[in-house]
Structure 1
Amino acid sequence: MPYIDEALLDDPEELQRKDSRDTLRALASAGAQVREAMTLAEEAGIDRLASTDRPRSVLVAAIGGSSIVADVLELLAEPGSPVPVQARRNLPLPGWVGPMDLVVAVSLSGRAPGPLAVAAEAARRGAMLLTVGADDSPLAQVCRSARGVHVGVGAGGRTSSRTALWTLLAPVLLGADRLGLLDAPVDVLHAVAERLDLRAEQFRPSSDAFVNPAKILAVQLAETVPVVLGDGPLGGVAAARAASMLARTARIPATFGELPDAASGIVACFDGPYTAIGGRRAGTYDDARIRLGDIDTSGWEPHHFAEPEGELMERPRGPESGPGRGDDIFADPYLDGPAPPRLGLLMLRDAAVSPATPESVQAEALTDAVLTTAREAGARVMEVQAEEGAPIVRLADHVAALDFAATYLAIGLGLDPSVSPHVADLRDRTR
């Protein structure tokens, strides 16, 4: 089981030393990224899109850390968009794409092969182009040659595509709003920036681990084989982003899914070797819930946290607790081998629907049923719940929480969240 050094998470000097490319600082700039991107989009002429004919379809090309841009656009446009929106990572460009369609290509460096090739082929066919990336890049050149709209990236978005999400996403949302594909006006994006500022303050490195929800979540994730599950479409996009950040930033592989479709697949894992009923010895599993508006202390462990008066809080007991149900005190880690890591279910819950609808009640009941099944199986349950707001504001809640948690997890494990030697080796071997 990975060992996370919790003391390191409260040491500002060590946090800075391990974080060689200021990932935490870049994540904290997310609100500023939104504001800067809005300014750059206006200067680039994003309003020109409002004067053009509505496209027949929209195709979004993005890969790697930028791929969530396509997922978010599909998510927000799907309920009421008058035209279809779909993602494409690379060539071939569908044969139906032509002058009546809009192609959106996103690449922080402006040199990612997939989006660049898609943009070049779209330009050759006469399609409308909206691109986001470095100003002095091949992508910018392709777009300008085709008389499209290219939005450059500012100083706040030059670290990596993982930490520059909002630099890349905000112009695309503005463009889609101008075309009438979704509802993301300037005031909504300002609300996103304010929510991201709030989360940056809440998750800041100087905030102690016992009151910082992102640090708490990092410690809990380190002790599990994580499964990230969204309670609906919005949570599903956030879950995919979370799995990507856990893998690329913290080097922790994670499965992800979205309710209701993934319910049976995720619940089937509760029968496997990483839960109490799946063959491992029964134990006591903690249950934690993180609400982003405040800190719910259920699930906090006594050796981690203390009451202000200095008294330890009582450790909650899960369904597998009780007389004769605790950890085997006779287990010998040398003879029996170390206990396998426990399965952890991280549920990303959307804000409650008000007033409730039959569909929302049914969805809530399914989420609760999955969580109950997980607890009874002995899995460790963690929850992150977004606060109220527009869909993109609620998504910002989840993305911020998991981005910071993955970064703290990497640092706590002694890893640099920005630099992976194996990724560097892979690049060298494929040049």
Structure 2
Amino acid sequence: MAPYLDEARIDDEDAIAALDSHQTLRGLATAGAQVREAIDLSAEGGVSRVAGGERPRSVLVASLGGSAVVCDVLDLLAEPGSPVPVSVRRNVPLPGWVGPLDLVIAVSQSGRAAGPLALAAEAARRGASLLTVGAADSPLADVAAQARGVHIDIGRGRSTSRTALWSLLAPVLLAAGELGIVDVGERVLLEAADRLDEVAEACRPSSESFVNPAKVLAADLAEGVPVILGDGPLNGVAAGRAASMLARTSRVPAISGELPDDAAQIVACFDGPFTTAYGASAAARGGSGFGNDGGSDIFTDPFLDGPASPRLGLLMLRDAAPDPMTREGAESAALADAVAEAAREAGARVSEVVAQPGHPLTRLAGQLATTDFAATYLALGLGLDPAVSPHVSDLRRRTGR
């Protein structure tokens, strides 16, 4: 059966404060401020000196866990017109082709993540240019100093990488912008910061459930098994981040995909046991077809037939319509509409989050912020502390990590 989300709890600021031990909502609300602080800290850290101010032969980015999306965003923004290849590496080994002509960017909120730290150390040994982003006075900062690279501090009060995303991402984008790899500079980042502030205001705890977009989305996601689908590369990145936040913050497993490549595998789920279409198919084969379809039959007895399974819930992340509309935009919108219509006909619950117009980074910022808030409200509504997982703590105890 579907989990129960207590809407009264997420509308009660005292209840939220009691449960949210690490002030996750407050951390998410500082995203815009993180961008502005990161601009200043990047200038102080010498971001203009990255790679000696010269364009490298290639760029390799290392980040994982809550900061993994940094790699994805840089790859997304660089892809349309970067004059050099950008690649992603989560862990060792460092590819053999990396050498003195290349730039390695290693990102870790604590400055102690084993993968980025090892990659940075190996890059330094080979003489590659190095940019590191993370806590000051950390092993990662030491590697950068020894290699005469550039280290950008993320500032104080960053408790987890999930709420420090923009402190980690903004310096990387500024450096890439300086090198001509992405079309991002201070103006674009400030525009994104304003968008993040707008979402934070709309999703603030004092905004009640029926008008707060993140609380509405959290209630929808609590209704079933979430599948998150982006309508293109930009929202594909947002979908991956949303699935990660749902798992890590809300403890709700989710799968994600991107149109058009993942249309078939997502639509195939509409035939499965979490839609009413499956119940109708079972009935046609001679089974009852009920008791496993989200409660579509009023005669279902939960004591005799067992509890109803949760329905599949499709979250569509959609981009702003191009102005003027292009052929590619029209085709993308038509495919997204078709998938959503098929989901509704199969009995899946469909929710949509549509980006507001702006630079690609600004549009992405709004999508990331909305789903980050939604995942956090879902955790709180389920009675969970968004930042503390007993099983993760136990795993660390068992493994010593």
* TM-score, normalised via structure 2 length: 0.95
Instruction: Name which of 332, 351, 355 aligns with 1:382.
Output: 351
Q: Does 1:72 align with 2:73?
A: yes
Q: 2: distance between equivalents of 1:393 and 1:42? A: 21
Q: 2: distance between equivalents of 1:8 and 1:227? A: 25
Q: What whole-Å deviation, never above 9, does each CA across 1:73-127 have from its counterpart, x for those lacking one?
A: 0000000000010110111100000000000000011000000000000000000
Corresponding residue number in structure 2 for 1:406: 375
Flag as ranges the 4+ runs of structure 1 deviating above 3 A.
none
Q: Contact 2:132 / 2:150 at 8 angstroms: preserved in 1?
A: yes
Q: Contact 1:281 / 1:328 at 8 angstroms: preserved in 2?
A: no
**Aligned 1:25-424 pairs, distance under 5 A:** 25-49=26-50, 52-156=53-157, 158-279=158-279, 327-424=296-393
In structure 2, give the amino acid aligned to 1:184. V
Q: Contact 2:36 / 2:190 at 8 angstroms: preserved in 1?
A: yes
Q: 2: distance between equivalents of 1:187 and 1:47? A: 16
The CA deviation at 1:144 is 1.0
Q: Contact 2:50 / 2:149 at 8 angstroms: preserved in 1?
A: no
Corresponding residue number in structure 2 for 1:295: none
Change (3 A) 1:98 1:195: same
In structure 2, give the amino acid aligned to 1:271. D
Q: What whole-Å deviation, never above 9, does each CA across 1:287-335 have from its counterpart, x for those lacking one?
A: xxxxxxxxxxxxxxxxxxxxxxxxxxxxxxxxxxxxxxx9322211111
The CA deviation at 1:53 is 2.1
Instruction: Identify, as 1 or 2, the structure richer in helix.
Output: 2
In structure 2, give the amino acid aligned to 1:4. L
The CA deviation at 1:336 is 1.0
The CA deviation at 1:49 is 3.1
In structure 1, give the amino acid aligned to 2:393. A
Q: What whole-Å deviation, never above 9, does each CA across 1:259-286 have from its counterpart, x for those lacking one?
A: 000000000000000001112799xxxx
Q: 2: distance between equivalents of 1:402 and 1:271? A: 27
- Name the SS for the 1:126 alignment partner: coil
Q: What whole-Å deviation, never above 9, does each CA across 1:208-253 have from its counterpart, x for those lacking one?
A: 1111010011011001100000000000000000000000000000
Q: 1: distance between equivalents of 2:125 and 2:252? A: 41
Q: Contact 2:61 / 2:106 at 8 angstroms: preserved in 1?
A: yes
- Name the SS for the 2:131 alignment partner: strand
Q: Contact 1:281 / 1:327 at 8 angstroms: preserved in 2?
A: no
Q: 2: distance between equivalents of 1:34 and 1:53? A: 25
The CA deviation at 1:356 is 1.4
The CA deviation at 1:44 is 0.4
- Name the SS for the 2:104 alignment partner: strand
The CA deviation at 1:392 is 0.5
More displaced stretch, 333-342 vs 120-129:
333-342
Say how many residue pairs are matched. 387
Corresponding residue number in structure 2 for 1:17: 18
Q: What whole-Å deviation, never above 9, does each CA across 1:372-408 have from its counterpart, x for those lacking one?
A: 1111111100000010000010001110100000000
- Name the SS for the 2:250 alignment partner: coil
Q: 1: distance between equivalents of 2:44 and 2:350? A: 46
Corresponding residue number in structure 1 for 2:286: none
Q: 1: distance between equivalents of 2:281 and 2:200? A: 40
* RMSD of aligned alpha carbons: 1.2
Structure 1 gap ranges (5+): 283-325
Structure 2 gap ranges (5+): 283-294
- Name the SS for the 2:302 alignment partner: coil
In structure 2, give the amino acid aligned to 1:27. L
* TM-score, normalised via structure 1 length: 0.88
Q: What whole-Å deviation, never above 9, does each CA across 1:3-28 have from its counterpart, x for those lacking one?
A: 11111011110001010000000000
Q: What whole-Å deviation, never above 9, does each CA across 1:35-74 have from its counterpart, x for those lacking one?
A: 0111000000111238532101000000100100000000
Q: Contact 2:276 / 2:296 at 8 angstroms: preserved in 1?
A: no
Q: Contact 1:274 / 1:280 at 8 angstroms: preserved in 2?
A: no
- Name the SS for the 1:104 alignment partner: strand
The CA deviation at 1:359 is 1.3
Q: 2: distance between equivalents of 1:176 and 1:421? A: 38
Q: Contact 1:272 / 1:279 at 8 angstroms: preserved in 2?
A: no
Q: Percent identity?
A: 67
- Name the SS for the 1:20 alignment partner: coil
